[in-house]
């Protein structure tokens, strides 16, 4: 795995991708940030050695290099989900490559179902902690020790300093930003009423099918990470409406504007 990461890294270095200290993973329906990037290079995942290829229509599969303000950033337009059939090694491969390219701070966005009934869909949530219910840990296996400690500490997986910067930006922009716990499930089916009840009782505010593997891999490598969820559907077990992916994408597109302004503000302040 390390050799593959190094090969992908060598390829990207040749294209100037070793100049950025900030990277951003754009989640489902949240690719609009790309319009705010002064794009210098854009490479299809399929052209990068060993990069998995995105299979979901709403994820376009490009690694973008550019600037936001004066800051160099790399943006992943499209990410890899466990539910698409990838191994966890594949899911976190790009994060390992980003670290090896010299990135030190990673911002992640995702779409999540909202189980905290004091909040509403369309709002944002800063992830302060998570529960991992995906079936495999990306650090499983001897190979992972090459990237950092196998028994990676997870007492504070979301960087407090980045989180502070995000809260300051949200306040300044007058955007409501909730804080809470994200639970990662394997998907791709959505949850039953009983499952939402169970997950809420377990201490989670929102539920989604991504992010946690990348956060674990980032922590192992000492890459600072912060993540924001866009709450795309209300998951009230006592009043559960059927949801469809179209609705989720539409809600994401509306909330995306606030998310983009927060990330822009934070990146420029770094």
Q: Judged by CB, which is closer to ligand HPA: 63, or 248?
A: 248
DSSP state of 133: -
- Quick one: 244 or 269, whose CB is closer to ligand HPA? 244
Q: Residues for the chain: how many in total?
A: 270
| 10-45 residues labelled b (16+ CB within 10 A) or e (exposed) | ebbeeeebbebebbbbbbbbbbebbebbeeeeebeb
Cβ proximity to ligand HPA: between 57 and 174 the closer is: 57
Q: Which long-range contacts (CB under 8 A, 24 or more apart) does 264-267 make?
A: 264/33, 264/36, 264/68, 264/69, 265/169, 265/172, 265/173, 266/107, 266/162, 266/165, 266/166, 266/169, 267/22, 267/24, 267/68, 267/69, 267/71, 267/73, 267/107
Indicate the angle between helix axes 88-100 and 212-220, nearest 10 degrees.
50
One of 75, 248, 255, 262 touching ligand HPA (CB under 6 A): 248
What sign does the dihedral 206-212-216-219 (CA atoms) show?
negative
For the segment 112-141, give every residue that binds ligand HPA (CB under 6 A): 112-113
Residue 26 lies near ligand HPA (rule: CB under 6 A)? no
170 belongs to the binding site for ligand HPA (CB under 6 A): no
Residue 256 binding ligand HPA, by CB under 6 A: no
Tell which one of 75, 97, 111, 177 touches ligand HPA (CB under 6 A).
111
Residue 61 binds to ligand HPA (criterion: CB under 6 A): no
Residue 255 is a binding residue for ligand HPA (CB under 6 A): no
SS3 29: coil
**Is residue 183 a contact residue for ligand HPA (CB under 6 A)?**
no
CA distance 220 to 34: 28
Nearest residue (CB) to ligand HPA, 108 versus 235? 235
Return the residue of 89, 233, 256, 265 that touches ligand HPA, per CB under 6 A.
233
Q: Does 157 bind ligand HPA (CB under 6 A)?
A: no
Binding of residue 251 to ligand HPA (CB under 6 A): no
- Only one of the segments 87-95, 111-119, 151-159, 167-175 lies at the binding site for ligand HPA (rule: CB under 6 A); that segment is 111-119
Q: Which residues of this protein are in contact with ligand HPA, per CB under 6 A?
A: 111-113, 185, 190-191, 207-209, 232-233, 235, 248
């Amino acid at each position: 795995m390390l050799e593959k990461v190094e090969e992908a890294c060598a390829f990207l270095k040749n294209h100037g991708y070793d100049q950025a200290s900030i990277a951003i993973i754009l989640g489902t329906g949240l690719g609009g940030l790309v319009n705010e990037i002064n794009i210098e290079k854009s490479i299809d995942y399929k052209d990068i050695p060993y990069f998995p290829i995105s299979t979901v229509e709403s994820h376009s599969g490009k690694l973008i290099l550019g600037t936001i303000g004066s800051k160099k950033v790399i943006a992943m337009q499209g990410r890899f989900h466990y539910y698409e059939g990838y191994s966890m090694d594949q899911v976190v491969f790009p994060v390992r490559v980003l670290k090896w390219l010299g990135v030190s701070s990673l911002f992640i966005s995702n779409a999540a179902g909202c189980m905290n009934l004091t909040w509403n869909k369309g709002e944002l949530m800063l992830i302060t902690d998570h529960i991992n219910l995906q079936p495999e840990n990306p650090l499983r296996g001897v190979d992972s020790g090459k990237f950092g400690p196998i028994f990676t500490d997870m007492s504070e997986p979301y960087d407090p300093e980045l989180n502070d910067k995000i809260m300051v930006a949200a306040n300044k922009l007058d955007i409501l930003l909730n804080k809470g716990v994200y639970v990662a499930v394997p998907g791709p089916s959505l949850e039953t009423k009983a499952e939402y009840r169970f997950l809420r009782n377990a201490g989670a505010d929102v539920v989604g099918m991504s992010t946690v593997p990348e956060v674990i891999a980032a922590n192992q490598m000492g890459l600072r990470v912060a993540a924001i969820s866009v709450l795309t559907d209300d998951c009230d077990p006592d009043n559960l409406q059927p949801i469809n992916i179209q609705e989720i994408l539409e809600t994401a597109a509306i909330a995306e504007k606030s998310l983009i302004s927060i990330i822009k503000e934070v990146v420029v302040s770094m």
